[in-house]
Each structure stands twice: as structure tokens, then as C-alpha cells.
Amino acid sequence: MSGNVPFRSRIVLEEIRFAAGVASKPSEVVTLWKAATGGKIVGCLPSTPVSELLHAAGMLLIVLESKEDLSLFSGQVDAWLWSGDLPPVSDLTVSIPRFAFPSVPPVNLEECLERIEALAEWAGAVSGFPVSEGRLWKSIRAYAIRRSLLDALDERFARDPSFLTPEEHRDIVRAGIFLPPEAHSRLLSTIFGVEPGPPATLAEGEKGDPLIVLAKRIFGG
């Protein structure tokens, strides 16, 4: 190990190696998730601002970084979500569900809410698990916790480059593209040596309609 990298415990090294394995061979962990849960895989290109909706429907969202990544998940994607008018695949005969989330910004909050409600209805129909208010709040919390841990990771890496090598940092972040948010948060918290706690954004509790909460977040930028 490089002298510039501080001592790390065995469990931390195992998590770093796990992240590297996920980052280099993501199809393997996706296959395991699908076999273990029976859930549906949603391919997304580019990323979506409402990952929580798909998670609340019991789906695993895979954000493809480029069209070249399509070959990594051949036959594994059960549905497509893309932003804009054109699908991410050229073969339009593929008979799997697909949803086009408009790339043009909504003109008002009501239009934004309509888009989110449509996606929630589609996700529930595809997965067989309707997006309930309770499940959606759970998903919002899971993604908020992961965002707070990722922010902490980036801050620590910027402040102390010896904490991780650039390759380790890249693999840990990339692993989150293919892991459920709870699993990625556990990986991050183990590396930090802390328990994932509720982020400050949810300190006041979960109030109101979660669909409106998501719509306000998207419409407000």
C-alpha cells in the first residue's frame, strides 16, 4: 500500500474492494439483485431527477453513463426511462415498457406535479407495486441519506486526498449507480465508520404529500 494512504481496517478495505468490483463489473451485482428480489430493472439515459419514484415502486434504477454501457446489461433491463423525445436505444421493436420524461422544464408547479404523477403511475404498473405515500417517503429518506454521505465523502476527499486514492473515490461513487441507495449508504457509512443518520433536510419530519415535495424540488431547480 502506498505510504500516502493511511492505515485502513480490514472491513474498510473489503468495502473499497467491493465498490471496485461493482464499478468494474456492474452487471454481476445487478443480476444478483434481480435474482434476490425479483424486482424490475429500469435503464435510464440520461439520469432522472425523480429516482425516488422508481425506488418506491420496488425497482432498481440503472443510470447509464453512455450508450456504450448498453451492452453491459443486455437482456437485464425490464423497462426504459429516458429524458427527451428519443429513446436511448435504436431498436424500437423491443417490446418492453418505456417512459419518456420531458426534458423541457415545466412551466409551473402544476405541470411538474402532473409529470411526476404520470411517472409514478407508470412505475407502479410496470413493477406491480403502486407507489404509496409511505413507500415514497421511505425512498425520499433513503436518497437524502445517500446524498448527505456522498457530500461528506467529496468534502473529506477534497480536504484530505490521502483518505482515498482517486481511483478508490471514483469506484465508490460509481458503485452508487448500480446499487440501491440503502446498500450504497451502508458502504459509505462503513468507510466513514459512522452510522447513517437522517439528513438535515428531513429534520422537521415527513409532512405533506411526497409527490408535491418532489415536484417543488424539481420545479425549484
Is the pLDDT reported for residue 77 higher than 80?
Answer: yes
How much of the chain, in percent, has pLDDT values that exceed 70? 82
Distance CA 137, CA 76 (A): 28
State the chain's mean pLDDT as an integer. Answer: 85
Mean pLDDT to the nearest integer, 150-175: 92
Nearest to 69 by CA among 41, 84, 89: 89
Distance CA 20, CA 120 (A): 33
Q: Omega before 6 cis (within 30°)?
A: no
Is the pLDDT reported for residue 197 higher than 80?
Answer: no
Nearest to 43 by CA among 54, 57, 29: 54
- Give per-residue pLDDT as tens, 7-50: 678 888 999 999 999 999 998 999 999 999 999 999 887 677 78
User: What is the separation, in whole angstroms, between the first and last Cα of the chain?
Assistant: 43
Its pTM stands at 0.86
Residue type, 138: K
Higher pLDDT, 169 or 198: 169
pLDDT at 168: 95
pLDDT at 2: 47
- Give me the helices (H) in 49-108, please: 51-56
- Give per-residue pLDDT as tens, 85-98: 555 555 444 678 88
Label residue 1 by pLDDT band (50, 70, 90).
Answer: very low
pLDDT at 82: 82
pLDDT at 185: 96
